[in-house]
C-alpha cells in the first residue's frame, strides 16, 4: 500500500498514474457508485403515468404500512443473526481442533477438506440437502428403516431446513478466519493457564476466546451479510413460506415490475446489512480492510 513508486518517475508520472487509474475509476463509478446512487433516486420517486415520475416517499411509506413487508424484513434479520450464531457455535470447536489439536500434515489435509465443498456451486449443495431432507429422501427413508418413524417424514419447506442450509453454506467463511486467528495463539499461553490452576472452561473463556475475538468478529460479519443477501437457500429449502427479504425484492422487480418499490426494498436491505456490519466492526475495533482483505 505505501511503497514509493520506482517505475513511474518524473514528467510521465501524472499521465501514467491517470492511465493506470482509468480502469479502476471506470469500474467503481460506472458499476458500483453511480448504479447505487441511481437505485436510491429511483426509490424516491413515484410513477404518475407512462414515463412520468414525481419525487415521493411513497415506496418507503408502503414498506412500513404493509405488515407483510416489514415482518419479512425483521424475520430475515433475526434468522440471519441466529444462523450466524449457530455457525459460530458449530464452527468454533472444529477450527480449534484444526488449529490447535492437529499437528503436521493431517492439519493441512483437514483444513483442505473443510474448504473443498465450498468450491462446488451453492446450487449443487442445496440440491444435496433437498435430496436428503425431502419426504422421499434419504433421511426420511433411514428413519423408517430404523423404525423411528411410521411413515414418510417431510423435513423440507420449514425454517429448520432453511437454517441447516444457511449454516452449511456459511461454514467456510467462519472456519477460515477462526483457524488463522487460533493458529497464532501460542500453546504456552494455554499451558500457563493450566499451570495457574485453570481448567478447560476457564482457559477457553479467559485466554482462547479473547485471543480469537478478531477472527470471530470478521467471521460473523461476513456470514451475516452473506446470509442476509441469500436467495437460493431460503427459496429452495423453505419453499413458498420462506419469506426471505431478497425474494420480496425479486417479486417487486421481476414479477410485479414495480421497480420503484423494489429499489426502496433493495436500499433498505443495503442499509440493514451496512449498519449491522458497521456495529460489528465498531464493537470489535476492526476495520473493513482488515476484515475482508
Separation CA 65–CA 51 (nearest Å) = 26
Nearer to other proteins, 208 or 216 (CB): 208
Where on the phi/psi map is residue 229: left (φ > 0), alpha (ψ -120 to 50), or beta?
Answer: alpha
CA 34 vs CA 19, 28, 37, 43, 77: distances in Å:
21, 8, 5, 14, 27
Smallest gap from Cβ 5 to other proteins, in A, equals 5
Of 67 and 195, CB closest to other proteins: 195
Q: How many residues are given for the chain? A: 293
Instruction: Report the alpha-carbon distance of residue 141 to residue 145 in Å, rounded.
Output: 6
Residue 212 CB, shortest distance to other proteins, in Å, is 14
Query: Would you say 215 or 230 has its CB closer to other proteins?
Result: 230
For other proteins, the closer CB: 94 or 149: 94
The angle subtended at Cα 265 by Cα 259 and Cα 271, nearest 5°, is 135
Cβ atoms 43, 264 nearer than 8 A: yes
Kindly tell me which of 42 and 216 has the beta carbon lying closer to other proteins.
42
Nearest distance from C-beta of residue 187 to other proteins, angstroms: 5
- Min dist CB 54 to other proteins, Å, is 16
**Shortest approach of other proteins to residue 28 CB, angstroms?**
6
The 3-state DSSP class for residue 48 equals strand
CB of residue 150 vs other proteins: minimum separation in angstroms?
16
Shortest CB 71 distance to other proteins, Å: 19
Cβ-proximal residues to 235 (8 Å cutoff; 6+ apart), any chain: 242, 244, 247
Nearer to other proteins, 3 or 67 (CB): 3
Query: What distances in angstroms separate CA 25 from CA 17, 149, 157, 273, 293, one per listed residue?
Result: 12, 61, 44, 25, 20
Closest-CA residue to 84 (of 206, 238, 230): 230
Q: What nine digits make up the cell of 233?
A: 437457500
Nearer to other proteins, 17 or 68 (CB): 17
Amino acid at each position: 500500500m505505501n511503497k514509493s513508486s520506482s517505475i513511474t518517475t518524473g514528467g510521465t508520472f501524472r499521465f501514467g498514474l491517470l492511465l493506470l487509474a482509468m480502469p479502476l475509476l471506470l469500474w467503481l463509478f460506472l458499476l458500483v457508485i453511480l448504479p447505487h446512487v441511481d437505485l436510491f433516486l429511483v426509490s424516491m420517486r413515484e410513477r404518475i403515468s407512462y414515463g412520468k415520475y414525481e419525487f415521493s416517499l411513497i415506496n418507503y411509506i408502503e414498506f412500513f404500512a404493509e405488515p407483510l413487508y416489514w415482518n419479512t424484513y425483521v424475520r430475515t434479520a433475526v434468522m440471519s443473526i441466529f444462523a450466524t450464531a449457530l455457525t459460530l457455535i458449530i464452527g468454533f470447536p472444529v477450527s480449534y481442533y484444526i488449529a490447535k489439536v492437529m499437528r503436521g500434515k493431517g492439519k493441512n489435509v483437514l483444513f483442505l477438506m473443510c474448504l473443498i465443498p465450498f468450491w462446488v456451486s451453492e446450487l449443487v449443495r442445496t440440491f444435496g440437502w433437498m435430496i436428503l431432507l425431502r419426504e422421499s429422501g434419504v433421511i426420511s427413508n433411514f428413519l423408517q428403516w430404523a423404525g423411528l418413524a411410521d411413515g414418510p417424514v417431510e423435513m423440507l419447506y420449514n425454517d429448520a431446513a432453511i437454517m441447516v442450509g444457511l449454516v452449511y453454506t456459511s461454514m467456510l467463511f467462519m472456519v477460515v478466519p477462526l483457524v488463522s486467528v487460533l493458529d497464532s495463539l501460542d500453546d504456552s499461553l494455554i499451558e500457563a493457564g493450566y499451570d495457574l490452576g485453570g481448567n478447560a472452561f476457564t482457559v477457553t473463556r479467559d485466554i482462547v476466546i479473547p485471543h480469537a475475538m478478531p477472527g470471530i468478529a470478521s467471521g460473523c460479519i461476513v456470514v451475516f451479510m452473506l446470509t442476509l443477501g441469500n436467495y437460493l437457500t431460503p427459496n429452495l429449502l423453505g419453499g413458498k413460506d420462506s419469506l426471505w427479504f431478497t425474494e420480496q425484492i425479486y417479486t417487486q422487480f421481476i414479477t410485479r415490475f414495480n421497480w420503484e418499490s423494489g429499489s426502496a426494498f433493495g436500499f433498505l436491505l443495503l442499509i440493514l446489512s451496512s449498519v449491522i456490519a458497521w456495529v460489528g466492526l465498531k464493537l470489535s475495533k476492526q476495520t473493513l480492510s482488515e476484515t475482508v482483505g
